[in-house]
Amino acid sequence: MEAKQVLEAIAAEVRVCEQCKLFSSRKHSVPGEGPANAEIMFIGEGPGFYENEQGRPFVGAAGKFLSELLAGIHLKREEVFIANVVKCRPPGNRDPEPDELEACDKYLERQIATINPHLIVTLGRISMGKFFPDARISSIHGQARWVKDRLVVAMYHPAAALHQPALRPTLENDFKKLPGYVEESKKKHSPAAARPEEKKPADDQEPTQLSLF
């Protein structure tokens, strides 16, 4: 299977998933979207009100700001992959709970393995916790670090900057570093490496390793 088809298959599973309690209150799950060969993958927290209505990630106010931040570094949202750590909206936009994060992580892991991006950007404290469980966002935002063989950088959530205008220039500055990080990653990281689902028939997959929660 080609990477695009693998992503579509993952999305189809997410749309009917009932593997954690968030399924019962969702309207639409939000698998994520973007090109299968995206160089940068953004990982947010979870769908909010508008995302739950539309089944698409970052379509509300935070999404508009994300698009502006991308435009500031000459990228369109169609050129990056945008996903979340949980694919269904937590009621009232509460934080996702540990059992929900763990249940949903397999989809995100499969998306990462399929896209194999040069750079992962986490948006906000919750998705930072997947890669840097003990870090403080105020200390590490904007700094790219190798996690296994992949470059990951934590950023403040765009929604946080809408509530705290002082974070806006911080986010803009951190975004300006992304093209350089992609170039740094390209020197070390080969996108032709593991894309396990492309090589295996669908019923012969090894279980995806749960990571870090």
Chain residues in the site for ligand URA (CB under 6 A): 44-48, 51, 57-58, 62-63, 84, 159
Nearer to ligand SF4 among residue 122 and residue 185 (C-beta): 122
- Give the span between the Cα atoms of 147 and 131, in whole angstroms: 7
Nearer to ligand URA among residue 32 and residue 117 (C-beta): 32
22 is a site residue for ligand SF4 (CB under 6 A): yes
- In the numeric block, the tokens 């090894």 are attached to 206
Nearer to ligand SF4 among residue 18 and residue 183 (C-beta): 18
Choose which of 77, 87, 118, 141 interacts with ligand SF4 (CB under 6 A). Answer: 87
For residue 172, the number of C-alpha atoms closer than 13 Å in the C-beta half-sphere is 10
The DSSP bridge partners found for residue 82 are 33, 42
23 is a site residue for ligand SF4 (CB under 6 A): yes
For residue 128, the number of C-alpha atoms closer than 13 Å in the C-beta half-sphere is 20
The DSSP bridge partners found for residue 147 are 150
- Give the span between the Cα atoms of 206 and 142, in whole angstroms: 34
**Contacted by 161, from ligand URA, ligand SF4, none: CB < 5 to 8 Å by type:** none
Nearer to ligand URA among residue 116 and residue 122 (C-beta): 122
Nearer to ligand SF4 among residue 100 and residue 197 (C-beta): 100
**Contacted by 6, from ligand SF4, ligand URA, none: CB < 5 to 8 Å by type:** none
Q: How many CB atoms lie within 10 A of CB 211?
A: 15
- In angstroms, what is the minimal distance from the CB of 106 to ligand URA? 19
- In the numeric block, the tokens 């296994």 are attached to 148
